[in-house]
């Protein structure tokens, strides 16, 4: 790497750090509860800012969306624990409560939700109320790229979920799971 390339890389890193700090200030000002410093690339938090908690050391990569919908309630609709990394273009969609533990790694293009729509036969889907249940991703979990985590599931501590899997039911701690739907394939 040439001296010029090294200098330009250093300038890029400084500018990226300053932009992240500005995003911290901006989202704090809107009401997101941020504990300490959170590394933030260009992310989208469109509304219900006060319903989101980010612990210190959280890292949100480019294109991450945190969407909290519905009326504000008691507990935060989205709570993300210390030192969790959420990779590019991941969408977290909460109407009730999504809790993500400490030290979690979430791959790119994941979708995590705590709700879906009712399915009554004589009412259009979009006219039906949301059906919600808390979703929990425990400490130390790793979700591979493109995972989908649906409402009401708990993924146990230190579990690894393979890329492209769909989690539709609880997964115990300390396993490797994969598939559509995700199933335990071995102990970790």
Q: Which residues are catalytic?
A: 115
CA distance 9 to 20: 16
- Specify which residues 100 forms β-bridges with: 80, 137
- DSSP assignment of 99-142 equals EE-TT-EE-TT-EEESEEE---TTS-GGGSPEEE--EEE-TT-E
Please classify residue 70 by burial: count the beta carbons closer than 10 Å to its beta carbon, then call 0-12 exposed, 13-18 middle and 19+ buried: middle
């Amino acid at each position: 790497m040439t001296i010029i390339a090294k200098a330009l890389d250093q300038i890029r890193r400084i500018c990226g750090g300053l932009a992240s700090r500005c995003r911290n200030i901006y989202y704090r000002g809107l009401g997101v509860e941020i504990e300490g410093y959170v590394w933030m690339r260009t992310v989208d938090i469109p509304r219900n800012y006060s319903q989101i908690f980010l612990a210190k050391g959280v890292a949100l990569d480019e294109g991450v969306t945190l969407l909290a919908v519905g009326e504000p309630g008691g507990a935060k609709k989205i709570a993300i624990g210390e030192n969790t990394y959420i990779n590019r273009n991941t969408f977290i969609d909460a109407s009730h409560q999504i809790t993500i533990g400490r030290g979690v790694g979430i791959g790119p293009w994941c979708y995590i939700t705590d709700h879906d729509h009712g399915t009554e036969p004589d009412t259009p889907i979009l006219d039906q109320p949301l059906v919600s249940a808390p979703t929990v991703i425990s400490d130390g979990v790793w979700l591979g790229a493109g995972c989908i985590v649906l409402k009401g599931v708990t993924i146990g501590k230190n579990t690894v979920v393979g890329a492209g899997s769909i989690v539709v039911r609880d997964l115990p701690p300390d396993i490797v799971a994969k598939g559509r739907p995700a199933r335990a394939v071995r102990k970790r």
